[in-house]
């Protein structure tokens, strides 16, 4: 069962029911607030996640992510949580600094 660890949320661990789910869906199904200004359509970068470990456990970049990468809005270690699917194994991520909510206390 794929696992996601959110490092700067006190190493919160959540499990995906199976491989192939979008990361943001797993996060939201576990009642964790995660920004998504465009409604999870891949039109902005507000749901961006910083991948600390496990990039190889994610689906390949899709057209929307490739667009933002080419524009310099996604770094090599960043993915859109609304587009990237966890394919297995473990994924360790962080909430991007610019996408943190003011009502949540983040760990470092």
Could you tell me if residue 107 is inside a domain? no
What per-residue confidence (pLDDT) applies to 108? 82
Range of the domain at 87: 3-99
* CATH number of the domain bearing residue 11: 3.10.20.30
Residues making up the chain, counted from first to last: 108
> How many domains does the structure of the chain reveal?
1
92 in Cβ contact with 3 (< 8 Å): no
This prediction's pTM: 0.95
Per-residue pLDDT tens listing for the chain (108 residues):
899 999 999 999 999 999 999 999 999 999 999 999 999 999 999 999 999 999 999 999 999 999 999 999 999 999 999 999 999 999 999 999 999 999 999 998
Q: pLDDT tens for residues 61-86?
A: 999 999 999 999 999 999 999 999 99
């Amino acid at each position: 069962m794929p696992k996601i660890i959110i490092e700067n949320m006190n190493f919160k661990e959540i499990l995906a029911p199976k491989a192939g789910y979008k990361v943001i869906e797993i996060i939201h199904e576990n009642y964790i607030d995660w920004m998504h200004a465009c409604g999870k359509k891949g039109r902005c970068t507000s749901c961006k996640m910083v991948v600390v470990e496990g990039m190889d456990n994610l689906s390949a970049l899709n057209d929307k992510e490739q667009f933002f990468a080419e524009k310099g809005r996604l770094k090599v270690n960043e993915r859109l949580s609304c587009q990237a699917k966890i394919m297995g194994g473990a994924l360790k991520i962080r909430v991007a600094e610019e996408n943190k909510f003011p009502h949540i206390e983040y760990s470092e």
